[in-house]
Each structure stands twice: as structure tokens, then as C-alpha cells.
Chains A and B, each alone.
Chain A
Amino acid sequence: MTITEYLLELLELLHLPKRARGRILGEVEDHLLCAAAELHGSGLEADAAEREAVRRFGSPDELARSFVSAHAARIGARLAHLALILAALVAWVSASARADGSVPFPLALLGFVLAQVAVVSGGLTWVRAMSSRKGRRAAPGGPELVLRGVAVVVGCAVAAGLIVLARIILTGPPVPGETAGAAGMAALLGACAFASARCRRLITPPSGTGPVQLTDRGTEGLGSRDFAEGDLVLLTADNAARWLQRHAPRLALWLDLRAYPWHFAFVVAAGAGIALAAAHGVGEGLPSEHHLLGGLAAGAIIASIETAVTLLGFAALGRPLGLRSSTRPRARAAQPACGTPGP
């Protein structure tokens, strides 16, 4: 392959913005010309020198995949920022509607649940994208999972928008917070859709040759079903698990996300429910002595509902968001007894 042929092939494979593509091609061309000139100077024929320079440079396919996957990760990080802001707006709209007090109960509850799902999905997606960008830990299939997380947040935003619409039809004009939040959501939805489409195009090559394989930072293939499930579990668990293992080793074992994701989900759900009930109690004012039992009962009901909703959310979204393994924990392979020499 000559240098020109190599550059043409690389150009065809680099599905990147024009400026990034131009820079890469300029650098590669300069490198190949330098290498070929040096080889020619050391006695090789001009054609042979070109071919040798190209051979030493490596496959254009792999090079293009590295660049494209890095670009996809960059877009993924921007998308994660957008998703986080979008989730905050969903929460803002939901809180504004609740604060107004004129929202019918089912719509208020639905908005409240949507806000929680959006905030959790947006937060996790952001953590995943940032961790992948900083390279603290390899995040296999990062862009694909970021896209899934963004899709969940976008779905919540669309539903929240529909709730606002339904409320306006049912009870009258929107409250100020709703109007500003809905306008912001509409703008961000457009930006998210545009960036998601760009990212999707990058990680799904048009030729149908299969998904992009990430080649740097030890990452693995995108798009394959077995790459990512449970990965965020490992990502978020490490620090917490270390602390817990030092201070409460038995509890740490029971809460081990890798082996028992449902234990962990239950504890988080119960904790969130209790926190919410406490916040509700503080917001409504602490009950007097006469109403203490009633207040506790209301708190318990809120905590239970929150726990149930969180667990349902974990069941429905745990896999697509990479929060839990798609397979049951594998039984440990039989180990030879201590002291017995292995095969």
C-alpha cells in the first residue's frame, strides 16, 4: 500500500468532523513522508520505502477506530453534562408543580417519581462519563451506556413535559417555575437529541461491519450485550466497599454489590425512603405529642412507597443502565484444596 492509498483509506474510515479529520490526516501524512524519506535515504527504493513506512505505521482500520472511539467518549461526556442539567430541570419542574399545590394528586406523584428517576439516571450517567474520561478506571462500553442513561433522562423530561401540558389543560395556566423549567427542558431535549445522534453514528459504523471496538485504556467492545452490565457497580462500589470492609466487614460482605446487587438496592431504597419521610416531616412541621403516632405512620407509608418505587426502578432500569449484572453471580470454580498442587 502506498502512502496515498493509506491516506485515502484512513480518510474513508475517519467519521469525524472535518477539522479533526484534517489534523489527523496532516499528521499521518507528515509522519509517513518522513519515514519513507529516511528509509529511502538508507538505501531502499522509493516504492519499497513507502510500503515499509506504511507497514510500520500500522493498520488504518485500527488507527481510525482509536480516534473515533476517543471522539465518541468526548461527545459522551458533553451529553452527560446535558443530561445532568436536564435531570435537574425535570426535578425543578416537578418541585414547582408540587409547591403550587393545585396539581391533581396522580400527576404530582408521577412527576415526583419521574424527577427521582431522572436525577438518579442523570447522576449515574455523569459519574460514568467523567470516570471514563479521566481514565481512573476503564469503563467498557462507556459511550453506549451514556447513551442509554441519556435516553432515560430524555424520556423522563418528555413525560414531565406532558404532565405540565396535562396540568395546564386540567387546572389552568402554568406556575412561573413550570414555564421556565419547561422552556429549558425543550431546549436541552433538542441539544441532547442532536448530540445523541452524533454519538450513535460514531459508535455504529454505517458500513455494517459491526460496532466500534475501543482499543485504548483497556476498554472493550461497544454494543455487545455482555460488556457493560454490572460495570458501574464495580465503579461506584470500590471506594465505599473499602471503607465498609475496614469498619464493618460482615455488613460489607452482605452489601457486596458484585455478588448481591439486590441487597444493596434494598438498603439504598430504604435509606432514600426514610430520608424522604424525614424531609417531609420537617417540611410539614414536626407533629405534636397527640399526633406523633399519626406522623410516624405517615412517615412509614412514605418510606415504604419510596422503597417500593426505588426497587421497581432498579428492576426496570438496572440492566440497561449497567447497574447490575445481567447474569447471576457465577458459582466459584472448584478450587484445589490449600497445599494441593494445581494442574
Chain B
Amino acid sequence: MKGDALKGHLDAMLLAVVADGPVHGYGIVQRLALRSHGRFELPEGTIYPALHRLEDDGLLRSRWAVIDGRRRRQYELTDRGRSALGVRSAQWREFAAAVDQVLGAAVAAPLRPASAGGAP
């Protein structure tokens, strides 16, 4: 799945993977890959501007921490981020259900060929 398909959903996915517990940037990419079974072809650097933006919006907070002898920036969810994640998850479920219903109807009644045209 190309990165373009993720436009508009990356923020919610980042909030979701950070919700599992404090994590650094590379860990976020690993969690995304694990949860999506590696389906997203996203340049890994893309997450950093998004993480900084979420932090600016008060949905994440971050701090430097020394982990395994290495200095790393760790992100965690704020209370606002947790409630935003809830809202976005609900919106996504509603959207996905609506699209599924439309596509499900199309699968149940396949489109007729164009030559058949006009009203049924």
C-alpha cells in the first residue's frame, strides 16, 4: 500500500502505536510494520514531522532518555492524545463501515457492462 493512501490517517495510526507505551521513533516504525504486517510502503522519515506536529498540538509529549546506552527521544501519549485517539478511531470505524456498505452492495450486485447502459 503506497504512502499516498495513508494521507490523513497517519496521525491516528501514530497515536495508536504510541498508545501501547513510551517508544522512540524507530520503535514506532517497527510497531507500525508489525501491526500492518508490513503492508505500508511509507518512507520511514515521514513519521518525524508528523510526530513533531502531534507534539505541538499537545497530543504527544517527548523527552530524551538513555536506552541501552544510547540517547533517544521517547514519545508518549498525553491525556488529550488519548481522547483524540478515541475520537479518531470512532470516526474511522464509521467511515470504514460506510465504505464497506457501499462496496459490499457493489459486490452483491455487480455493475452491468457499459453497453447495457440506461436505466435497469
Contacts and interface: CB of A to CB of B under 8 A. Distances in A.
Interface in B49-103: 49-50, 52-53, 56-57, 64, 70-73
Interface of B: 7-8, 24-26, 29, 43-46, 48-50, 52-53, 56-57, 64, 70-73, 114, 117-119
Interface of A: 23-24, 26-28, 30-31, 33-35, 56-59, 62-63, 66-67, 70, 74, 134-135, 215-216, 218, 339, 341
Nearest to A55: B43
B43 A35 contact: no
A70 B43 contact: no
A37 to B, nearest CB: 10
Given A27-B25, A30-B72, A30-B73, A70 B45 contact: no
Given A26-B73, A341-B117, A35 B26 contact: yes
Among A34, A67, A218, which residue has the most Cβ atoms of chain B within 10 A?
Answer: A34
Contacts of A339: 118-119
A218 B7 contact: yes
Nearest 8 pairs of A and B residues by beta carbon:
A58-B43, A66-B49, A58-B45, A34-B26, A57-B45, A63-B45, A31-B26, A341-B117
Contact of B25 (A30, A59, A66): A30
Nearest to B24: A30
Interface on chain A toward B: helix, strand, loop, or mixed SS? helix
Contacts of A30: 24-26, 70-73
Contacts of A33: 70
Nearest to A30: B72
Contacts of A34: 26
Contacts of A70: 49, 52-53, 56
Contacts of A31: 25-26, 29, 44-45, 48
A197 to B, nearest CB: 22
Contacts of B72: 30
Nearest to A20: B52
B44 A57 contact: yes
A30 B29 CA distance: 13
Nearest to B46: A58
